[in-house]
Amino acid sequence: MILLPAPEKVTLMEGNLPLGLGTMIVLDASCPAGVSVYARMLKQEAAKWAGIEPDILRGAARAGDILLKLDPNLKEQAYRLNITEEGAVLCGGSAAAVGYAVSTLRQIVRQYAGLLPCLSIEDEPMLLNRGFYHDVTRGRVQTLAHLKELADTMSFYKLNQLQLNVEHTYLFRGMSELWRDETPLTAEEILELDDYCWERGIELVPSLASFGHLYKLLSTRTYERFCETPDSAGKPFSFESRMALHTVNVSDPGSMELIKSMIAEYMSLFRTDKFNICADETFELGKGKSKALADEKGTGALYVDYICELFDFLMKQGKTPMFWGDIICRHPELTGRIPHEVICLNWGYSPTQREDETRILAETGVVQYVCPGTCGWNTWVNVLSNSYKNVKIMTGYAKKYGAVGMLNTDWGDFGHVNHPVFSIPGLIYGAVFSWSGDAPDFEELNRQISVLEFGDAFGALLGCIGGISDEMRFSWHNAVMLKEHVQKGFPREALAKLFYGEDMGKVPASNQKLAETAEKLRVVSRGMDSSRRGIVSLTLAAIDIVRTFNEVGVYLASMKDGKAGEKQDGYALAQRLETCLYHYKKFWNENSKHGDIDRIGDVFFWYADLLRKDGDRG
């Protein structure tokens, strides 16, 4: 039996509970109205996997029924699940905990259909706050329908907090210059998603860039005056600049007024009492317009002054502030100024992430979440092994140092090119480790996820796709950086550092492995639930892109060495790039708004044009 996250205590017993045409899902009188959402989820699961669609009612359970009830003797997030030959009883300390019991039963139904094994489960989470952080700013803005699907997946694995990274992809009123070339989320969409999440026991927490990472805002003619560096408007779009530049000028009082107005508008859409101001990677602070102030007070003090004013503003509105911890960890002497109500989001994404920051925050008394990652940024398929190791080590630090939560991040650097489905394994890693603090080894957990999430009877899916990123020789990051640095007129020596010609010799072996992976994937798909086979075409598309860019790298290496490829080779490779993009765009449009797809396409086209131009010379 596969249960994710693994329950604290499972006792298997003799016998089975058959689900029949007369089986009812019964809501006890103790259940608030919201529990009916979980009852409907269970009904849908039974209809799909057991071929039986139990009716839902309120009242007393009879033999063979499934009873949902609250138990005031249980902790708020604890639940019990008992299946006997007489029926099933699901108890929770709250409506959300009843939902956790239902999720566990849904997983059992998914595997045992209409003949449920008799058992007893007692369970509660290690961390009370278990979140997922999804980037809807740097390329991919998922549609409302697919954000709801994300919430459903989170509910299934007992995650209870969702944050969406927003810098400029919300339709702020009166700020059309900010989002005029975007497809932003609207207030109505946020309100509907907030309701949807709340009904499923998920807290939708607003996250809004308020200090650094304000590329679009501070590049506008209207607001460039608030940028730390001068002349920020009017420059061509750059993926690199969007990642690294544009920090608020804290020496201008108008900056704070603007940010507070944006926070006030945005936070009004959410029922939560939390608000994440981000405030990370303020690379330019004290280096431009605020340099004189930084020289007087120190950059660390300048940083803390600014965020503390925002904290005070939020707390006066009854909100609990949250912020990323990378800057404050460099100034532990200033942590005493952080109000005790504030939550520090301590991020680190290495598979061997050090514990220094977690320890520093704990020793200085700062309340913290640990924040690992799904490791999908700048890659076509997430680096699953890195994500597993990173999540495991960071949740271990959470337990060791008394963190109050875990927020697993899914960033979208350079266009968010990885399809959202490839972040689901990382999401589940976070759910598993934050609930129990432990998990099976990497291969076994991937087998279990393959079976439970993707309906793969062989349990081989993730083992098949997990190594794709290892075979990237000319990566998306390097492709973007090389293009942008050429366009900015960087000298040849600087460009050479972005292009690792020595890796190009590995392309034939890597592309052969990728071809073998594609063949294996087709075999694996034979044992998959038909409704989950969409990941096969997505993976095949990713493999084609990786192989094609690898060959572009080989071609560029020959150009660099003065050995231009054959004219037809350049033309054929350009056509392959454009064909890859055609299929990629179809998949993009299935779950995302327009977003950055044109900017991603521009990278493909730049290389295609370069290949044809060089082919003409050949």
CATH code 3.30.379.10 region(s) in the chain: 9-123
Question: Residue 32 corresponds to which tokens in the numbers above?
Answer: 């608030």
Model confidence band, residue 617 (pLDDT cutoffs 50, 70, 90) = low
Q: What whole-number distance in Å separates Cα of residue 562 and Cα of residue 556? A: 10
Question: Residue 200 corresponds to which tokens in the numbers above?
Answer: 């499923």
* pLDDT surpassing 60 at residue 380: yes
Name the architecture of domain 9-123: 2-Layer Sandwich (3.30)
What is the tens place of the pLDDT at every residue in 242-290? 998 799 999 999 999 999 999 999 999 999 999 999 999 999 999 999 9
Average pLDDT over residues 574-595: 97
287-294: Cβ within 8 A, 24+ apart: 287/228, 287/229, 288/227, 288/228, 288/229, 288/230, 288/249, 289/227, 289/228, 289/229, 289/230, 289/249, 289/251, 289/252, 290/228, 290/249, 290/250, 290/251, 292/251, 293/250, 293/251
Q: What whole-number distance in Å separates Cα of residue 588 and Cα of residue 600? A: 11
Beta bridge partners of 104: none
Which pLDDT score, from 0 to 100, does residue 496 have? 77
Number of H helices, E strands in the chain: 21, 15
How many Å is the Cα radius of gyration of the chain?
26
pLDDT above 90 coverage of the chain, percent: 93
Average pLDDT over residues 227-251: 93
- Identify residue 472 by its one-letter amino acid code: M
For 168-189, b where at least 16 C-beta lie within 10 A, e where not — what string?
A: bbbbbeebeebbeebbbbeeeb
Q: Can you give the pTM of this predicted structure?
A: 0.97
Chain position carrying tokens 């709340």: 198
Which pLDDT score, from 0 to 100, does residue 569 have? 87
**151 backbone dihedrals φ, ψ, rounded to 5°:** -60, -40
* pLDDT surpassing 70 at residue 295: yes
Q: Is 549 helix (H, G, I), strand (E, B) or coil?
A: helix
Which pLDDT score, from 0 to 100, does residue 559 have? 77
Which pLDDT score, from 0 to 100, does residue 161 have? 98
- CB within 8 A of 105, min separation 6: which ones? 42, 66, 81, 83, 88, 90, 116
For 334-347, b where at least 16 C-beta lie within 10 A, e where not — what string?
A: bbeebeeebbbbbb
Which pLDDT score, from 0 to 100, does residue 494 have? 77
Instruction: Give which of 81, 29, 86, 24 is closest to 57, Cα–Cα.
Output: 24
Q: Which carries the bigger pLDDT value, residue 33 or residue 615? A: 33
- Identify residue 217 by its one-letter amino acid code: L
H/E stretch holding 79 reads strand 79-84
Which pLDDT score, from 0 to 100, does residue 492 have? 78
Model confidence band, residue 500 (pLDDT cutoffs 50, 70, 90) = low
- Dump strand ranges (E) for 348-460: 367-371, 405-410
* pLDDT surpassing 60 at residue 534: yes
Model confidence band, residue 565 (pLDDT cutoffs 50, 70, 90) = low
Q: What whole-number distance in Å separates Cα of residue 447 and Cα of residue 459? A: 4
Name the architecture of domain 129-436: Alpha-Beta Barrel (3.20)
Which pLDDT score, from 0 to 100, does residue 615 have? 63
Q: Is 541 helix (H, G, I), strand (E, B) or coil?
A: helix
Question: How far apart, in Å, do the first and last CA atoms of the chain sit?
Answer: 61
| Burial classification of residue 586, based on how many CB atoms lie within 10 Å of its CB (0-12 exposed, 13-18 middle, 19 or more buried) | exposed
- CB within 8 A of 460, min separation 6: which ones? 447, 450, 520, 524
- The mean-pLDDT minimum among 188-192, 321-325, 487-491 falls in 487-491
Q: Is the dihedral of CA 91, 96, 100, 102 positive or negative?
A: positive
Which pLDDT score, from 0 to 100, does residue 413 have? 95
Beta bridge partners of 323: 344
- The DSSP annotation for 80-117 comes to EEEEETTEEEEEESSHHHHHHHHHHHHHHHHHHTTEEE
CA 464 to chain centre: 21
Q: What whole-number distance in Å separates Cα of residue 414 and Cα of residue 436? A: 34
* pLDDT surpassing 70 at residue 101: yes
- DSSP character at residue 152: H
What is the tens place of the pLDDT at every residue in 437-486? 999 999 999 999 999 999 999 999 999 999 999 999 999 999 999 999 99
Question: Residue 13 corresponds to which tokens in the numbers above?
Answer: 């017993």
Three-state SS sequence of 291-349: HHHHHHHCHHHHHHHHHHHHHHHHHHCCCEEEEECCCHHHCHHHHHHCCCCCEEEEECC
* pLDDT surpassing 90 at residue 568: no
> What's the mean pLDDT when you consider all of the chain?
95
Which pLDDT score, from 0 to 100, does residue 558 have? 83
Q: What whole-number distance in Å separates Cα of residue 275 and Cα of residue 100? A: 25
For residues 507 and 473, the answer to whether their CB atoms sit within 8 Å is yes
CATH code 3.20.20.80 region(s) in the chain: 129-436
Q: What whole-number distance in Å separates Cα of residue 76 and Cα of residue 196? A: 21
Phi/psi class of residue 174: alpha, beta or left (left: φ > 0; alpha: ψ in -120 to 50)? left
Model confidence band, residue 104 (pLDDT cutoffs 50, 70, 90) = very high
